[in-house]
Amino acid sequence: MGNVFSVVRALEHVGASGVVVSADPDVVRRAPRLVFPGQGAFRDCAAALERGLGAAVRESIARGAPYLGICLGLQALFASSEEAAGAAGLAIFEGTVARLRGGPDEHGGSLKIPHMGWNTARPTRPHPVLGPEAHYYFVHSYAVRPSDPGLVAATTSYGEDFVSVVAKDNVLACQFHPEKSQRAGLGLLGRFMSM
């Protein structure tokens, strides 16, 4: 999905003002909070992060600025992905990004990949931004596998139970698209803005 304008519209809908879309490391470094929607494929994202942007995002997170990762903005927190051998992510968390395994569907056929549509994110622990169990909109073929189980904040079932939200300190990152998840998503974005 990755329509950055949808993210801006949703943030403004929940009361955010002064939302700036930028890939300029200086702008990112100075921002009081970051939303990283992540667009396209892991390799393109990794290439963009190499050009100074990655260092700025790392600094911002280390400084304690609230960070919301969406979809690729979750996957990019890890060092590498099966989607793009050799491409380097932010490596803020240890673990990998692996292709969804799929499996049988309810008719005895195969689950469709990408995993596309509304599925349930089940919180594994209370989190002030995440909120209760809800349906969110997903579009992805890869999922994160954190080494530290303590990072996991929610899981979702699709052939396997995959990690749909990770959270640590000022970082929250979700595999689904809150900007396209109606009331549940807008609620999450609103809570992030008051984090």
Partner 1 sequence: MTPVLAKRVIPCLDVRDGRVVKGVRFEGLRDMGDPAEAAARYDAEGADEIALLDITASHERRGTLLDVVERTAKATFVPLTVGGGVRDEADVEALLAAGADKVSVNTRAVEHPELVGAAARRWGCQAIVVAIDAKRRGDGWEVFVHGGRTPTGKDAIAWSREVADLGAGEILLTSMDRDGTKDGYDLALVRAVSDAVSVPVIASGGVGSPAHLAAGLLEGRASAVLAASIFHEGTCTIGEVKRYLSAAGIPVRASEQAA
Q: Among residues 92 and 178, whose Cβ is nearest to partner 1? A: 178
Owner of token pair 């999450």: 188
Instruction: Find the binding residues for partner 1 in span 110-149 (CB under 8 A).
Output: 110, 112-120, 122, 133-135, 137-139
Whether residue 133 lies in the annotated active site: no
**N- to C-terminal Cα distance for the chain?**
25
Contact flag: residue 182 with partner 1 (CB under 8 A): yes
Minimum CB–partner distance for residue 170 and partner 1 (Å): 25
Give the burial string for 53-71 (b: 16+ CB within 10 Å, else e).
Answer: bbebbeebbeeebbbbbbb
Contact flag: residue 73 with partner 1 (CB under 8 A): no
The residues carrying an active-site annotation are 71, 177, 179
Q: Which residues bind partner 1 (CB under 8 A)?
A: 1-3, 5-6, 9-10, 13, 40-41, 106-107, 109-110, 112-120, 122, 133-135, 137-139, 156-158, 179-186
